[in-house]
């Protein structure tokens, strides 16, 4: 019983870790393809593979362990420069990654590895491995980023080292890593140098002192110090400088130097390499472990349901607080001012403020960086581009933009579709682009940013763009619109035709996109999460899709209106404006009531008819009209009374009622009563069918 529980505990940790490493691999391998000489990337990949190897082996997942073992070996050859990074190698790496993912999924669903075939892949890896001649036993030794960061001393420096040892000095190899967000790397390094020079002599730095002063280093530098001070003193002197992430101090050993004197230069270096690497990496690992430990204690995984419950509890607090204030008010009326009552008032105001803050904090806890979705795209784009024979420069901007978890879950699919479209239909083939005088490599850019209270995500390409005339012709051919109406469309309206169900511009159905279920589904998806999608396209220059989304699905800025005693909420993202209509302004087109607003015909409906609420519509001289719009023409909805704007927390109507047409959910108001949130999309659709029926009759 207990052991089963324990295994599942470890399993979850293993899977979380595997997810993390797979993510790293995914990203780094794709980046490596564009930057084949980048040793940092290779090191990242190597480390991820190594971690996976270690954890899968310790969990007893042999297939994954053997794949990652051979993968690691291949990666090591890449790092050593014995094998060159070619597109074929990248493909092989990706293939490994895919198999690892499959294995992970199997483990996740069944708790053990399944029947997935790994032999073939392993033999492919072996081919790469056997293509070179280095002995295997050396391969698994160095696994740290520091592998390429050892210090090579020239003869003069070696002389200095041995002299220092003879005189009884220490010689320290010091690696200093500055905080990654350190703003003044140069000055920090200078202070480190200055401090060290007060206790000894720096005989070498990597990079050179000039480069360090000019900030020509990432955030790490090495130096060799000759000093009488012992390790801990040296460390404390460096540590006194701020913005330092880690310090690694190792003695430069004299034996190494002696060895070097007796051996061939090439071999010497090799030994030194490995020694240095091993030493540094061990220490570095300890350091890293430490920081990782700190990190894990800083974040906690929490079930979303918990946050939801917390949210509800806070909601109750808000309501009770209002009641408390009411009671205080009543008591005051009865008893007059009294000291204790004033205290009560103070307390209730304080509780109110705290509950407000609490609510906000919980809201924030549900936010995630959009990275979670974006990170899987580079790989996808690469695969699609390769398959379509196109060259794509894929740029991602604003990964750190935070969005509500629920929105993040919904946004992935539409984005995949838009990216596929951009690659498949947008970007031209390299030959064609060259003919057009464009760079052979097409640009596809995905970006996310905050704008006021919204998230804006754009997908743009510098491809062929969309031709309004072609789209019109296509729509007519598909019977989506008649010739007469098509002629009257503006170019922008014509482009919007691609959102009609059954429209697809791809001449032939490719494996990627163009199955005729494309854009209307994208738009549905986005509207479902209260988003809006807009296209801007220029023939020959490219297309840009702009998606605007609410920050969260759980909280919504709404316009509250009253219909008799019931309160309804219009999500503000759908409200165009509020107008007041006089009775004699209303005109009729057949049975349809309309009003002219700035020269445009606005059809009018009462909220009760759209919701099938039976009541006598009161006769009034003028009434408020909420003008709403869902990506087409606006519709006016007559209500009894406007109550104003408010932030509301969206709740579902529950499983029992499920989806009620015309309603998007419910919310609890300050007084504890429930108000219904309108599904504007549903209402507008309903209104439109009504309108057609009335005008047709």
Partner 1 sequence: MREEKAVQKQEEQLVVFQLGSETYGVDIAIVREIIRMQSITPVPRTPDFVEGVINLRGRVIPVIDLHKRFELPCGDETNDTRIIVVEVGEITVGMIVDSVSEVLRIASESIDPPPPVISSGVNTAYLRGVGKLEDRLIILLDLQKILHEEEHKELEESLKQVVATEEE
The one-character DSSP state at 317 is: H
- Distance of alpha carbon 312 from the chain centroid: 27
CA distances from residue 536 to 382, 429, 504, 691 in whole angstroms, order as listed? 25, 22, 18, 30
Query: Which one, 174 or 563, has the nearer CB to partner 1?
Result: 563
Which spans of this chain sit near partner 1 (rule: CB under 8 A)?
A: 311-313, 315-316, 319, 566-567, 611-613, 651-663, 665-666, 668, 672-676, 685-686, 689, 693
Joined together, the tokens standing for residue 209 give 């002192």
Query: Which one, 195 or 685, has the nearer CB to partner 1?
Result: 685
The residues, ordered by sequence, that sit 6+ positions from 540 with a Cβ below 8 Å of its Cβ are 436, 464, 465
CA distances from residue 258 to 25, 270, 339 in whole angstroms, order as listed? 41, 14, 87
Q: How far is the CB of 312 from partner 1 (least distance, A)?
A: 3
CA distance linking residue 147 with residue 141, whole number of Å: 10
Catalytic residue among 33, 43, 69, 72: 72
Scored b (16 or more CB within 10 A) or e, 17-50 reads ebeebbebbbbbbbbbbeeeeeeebbbbbbbbbb
CA distance linking residue 257 with residue 279, whole number of Å: 16
Joined together, the tokens standing for residue 377 give 């795209």
Query: Which one, 15 or 310, has the nearer CB to partner 1?
Result: 310
Q: Are 440 and 433 in contact (CB under 8 A)?
A: yes
Q: Are 575 and 681 in contact (CB under 8 A)?
A: no
CA distance linking residue 48 with residue 27, whole number of Å: 11
Query: Which one, 473 or 663, has the nearer CB to partner 1?
Result: 663
Q: How far is the CB of 696 from partner 1 (least distance, A)?
A: 12
Q: Could you confirm whether 173 is annotated as catalytic?
A: no
Q: How far is the CB of 423 from partner 1 (least distance, A)?
A: 36
Q: What are phi and psi of 477, to 5 degrees?
A: -60, -40
Query: Which one, 237 or 567, has the nearer CB to partner 1?
Result: 567
Q: Are 124 and 71 in contact (CB under 8 A)?
A: no
Q: Could you confirm whether 255 is annotated as catalytic?
A: no
CA distance linking residue 216 with residue 224, whole number of Å: 19
Query: Which one, 311 or 444, has the nearer CB to partner 1?
Result: 311
Q: Are 105 and 115 in contact (CB under 8 A)?
A: no
Q: How far is the CB of 668 from partner 1 (least distance, A)?
A: 5
Catalytic residue among 43, 284, 421, 574: 421
Q: How far is the CB of 311 from partner 1 (least distance, A)?
A: 8
The one-character DSSP state at 499 is: G
Query: Which one, 209 or 310, has the nearer CB to partner 1?
Result: 310
Query: Which one, 315 or 430, has the nearer CB to partner 1?
Result: 315
Site of tokens 């992935």:
412
Q: How far is the CB of 578 from partner 1 (least distance, A)?
A: 22
CA distance linking residue 555 with residue 453, whole number of Å: 11
Q: How far is the CB of 300 from partner 1 (least distance, A)?
A: 23
| DSSP H/E element including 551 | none
Query: Which one, 191 or 668, has the nearer CB to partner 1?
Result: 668
Q: How far is the CB of 439 from partner 1 (least distance, A)?
A: 50
- Distance of alpha carbon 60 from the chain centroid: 32
- Percent of the chain as helix, strand, coil, to the nearest 5: 50, 20, 25
Q: Could you confirm whether 50 is annotated as catalytic?
A: yes
Site of tokens 């840009």:
544
Nearest to 504 by CA among 549, 540, 555, 470: 470
Nearest to 257 by CA among 325, 165, 184: 165
| DSSP H/E element including 440 | none
Q: What are phi and psi of 529, to 5 degrees?
A: -100, 30
Query: Which one, 7 or 310, has the nearer CB to partner 1?
Result: 310
Q: How far is the CB of 649 from partner 1 (least distance, A)?
A: 9
| DSSP H/E element including 296 | helix 265-298
CA distance linking residue 552 with residue 494, whole number of Å: 32
CA distance linking residue 313 with residue 361, whole number of Å: 13
Q: How far is the CB of 659 from partner 1 (least distance, A)?
A: 8
Task: Name the β-bridge partners of 605.
Answer: 637
Q: Are 134 and 82 in contact (CB under 8 A)?
A: yes
- Distance of alpha carbon 183 from the chain centroid: 25
Catalytic residue among 27, 43, 50, 69: 50
Q: How far is the CB of 672 from partner 1 (least distance, A)?
A: 5
Query: In 293-441, where do the E strands start and end?
Result: 367-369, 392-397, 402-404
Query: Which one, 507 or 656, has the nearer CB to partner 1?
Result: 656
Which active-site residues does the annotation give? Answer: 50, 72, 421
């Amino acid at each position: 019983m207990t052991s089963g529980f324990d295994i599942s505990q470890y399993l979850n940790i293993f899977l979380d870790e595997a997810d993390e490493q797979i993510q790293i691999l995914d990203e780094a391998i794709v980046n490596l393809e564009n930057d084949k000489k980048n040793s940092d990337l290779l090191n990242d990949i190597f480390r991820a593979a190594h971690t996976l190897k270690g954890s899968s082996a310790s969990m007893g997942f042999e297939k994954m362990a053997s794949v990652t073992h051979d993968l690691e070996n291949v990666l090591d050859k890449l790092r050593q420069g014995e094998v060159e990074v070619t597109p074929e190698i990248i493909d092989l790496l990706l293939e490994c990654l895919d198999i690892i993912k499959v294995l992970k999924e199997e483990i996740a669903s069944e708790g053990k590895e399944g029947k997935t075939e790994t032999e073939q892949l392993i033999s492919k890896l072996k081919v790469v491995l056997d293509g070179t001649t280095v002995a295997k036993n050396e391969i698994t030794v160095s696994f740290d980023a520091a592998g390429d960061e050892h210090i090579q001393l020239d003869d003069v420096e070696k002389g200095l080292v041995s002299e220092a040892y003879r005189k009884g000095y220490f010689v320290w190899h010091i690696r200093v890593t500055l905080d990654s967000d350190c703003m003044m790397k140069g000055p920090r390094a200078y202070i480190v140098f200055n401090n060290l020079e007060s206790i000894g002599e720096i005989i070498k730095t990597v990079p050179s002192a000039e480069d360090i002063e000019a900030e020509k280093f990432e955030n790490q530098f090495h130096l060799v110090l000759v000093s009488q001070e012992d390790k801990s003193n040296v460390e404390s002197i460096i540590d006194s400088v701020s913005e330092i992430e880690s310090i690694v101090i190792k003695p430069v050993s004299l034996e190494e130097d002696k060895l070097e004197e007796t051996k061939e230069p090439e071999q010497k270096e090799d030994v030194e390499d490995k020694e240095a690497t091993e030493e540094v990496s061990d220490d570095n690992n300890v350091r890293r472990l430490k920081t990782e430990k700190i990190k894990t204690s800083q974040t906690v995984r929490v079930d979303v349901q918990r946050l939801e419950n917390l949210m509800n509890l806070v909601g109750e607090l808000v309501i009770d607080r209002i009641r408390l204030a009411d009671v205080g008010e009543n008591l005051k009326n009865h008893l007059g001012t009294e000291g204790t009552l004033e205290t009560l008032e103070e307390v209730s105001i304080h509780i109110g403020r705290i509950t407000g803050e609490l609510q906000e904090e919980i809201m924030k806890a549900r936010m995630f960086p959009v990275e979670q979705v974006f990170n899987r795209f580079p790989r996808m784009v690469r695969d699609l581009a390769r398959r379509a024979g196109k060259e794509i420069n894929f740029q991602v901007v604003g990964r750190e933009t935070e969005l509500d978890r629920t929105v993040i879950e919904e946004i992935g699919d539409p984005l995949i579709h838009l990216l596929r479209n951009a690659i498949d239909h947008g970007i031209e083939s390299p030959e064609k682009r060259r003919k057009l005088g464009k760079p052979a490599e097409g640009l596809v850019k995905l970006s996310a940013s905050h704008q006021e209270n919204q998230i804006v995500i754009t997908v743009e390409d510098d491809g062929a763009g969309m031709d309004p005339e072609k789209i019109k012709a296509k729509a007519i051919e598909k019977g989506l619109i008649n010739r007469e109406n098509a002629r009257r469309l503006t170019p922008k309206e014509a482009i919007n035709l691609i959102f009609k169900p059954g429209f697809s511009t791809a001449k032939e159905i490719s494996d990627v996109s163009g199955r005729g279920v494309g854009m209307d589904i994208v738009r549905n998806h986005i509207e479902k999460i209260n988003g809006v999608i807009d296209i801007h396209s220029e023939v020959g220059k490219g297309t840009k899709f702009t998606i605007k989304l609410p920050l969260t699905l759980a909280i919504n800025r709404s316009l509250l209106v009253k219909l008799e005693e019931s309160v309804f909420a219009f999500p503000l993202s759908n409200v165009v404006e509020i107008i007041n209509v006089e009775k004699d302004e209303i005109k009729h087109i057949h049975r349809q009531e309309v009003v002219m607003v700035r020269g445009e015909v606005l059809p009018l409906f009462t909220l009760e008819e759209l919701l099938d609420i039976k009541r006598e519509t009161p006769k009034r001289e003028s009434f408020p009209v909420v003008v709403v719009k869902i990506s087409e023409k606006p519709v006016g909805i007559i209500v009894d009374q406007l109550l104003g704007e408010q932030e509301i927390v969206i709740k579902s109507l529950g499983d029992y009622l499920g989806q009620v047409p015309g309603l998007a959910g419910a919310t609890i108001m300050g007084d504890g009563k429930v108000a219904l949130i309108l599904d504007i999309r549903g209402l507008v659709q309903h209104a439109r069918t009504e309108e057609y029926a009335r005008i047709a009759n």
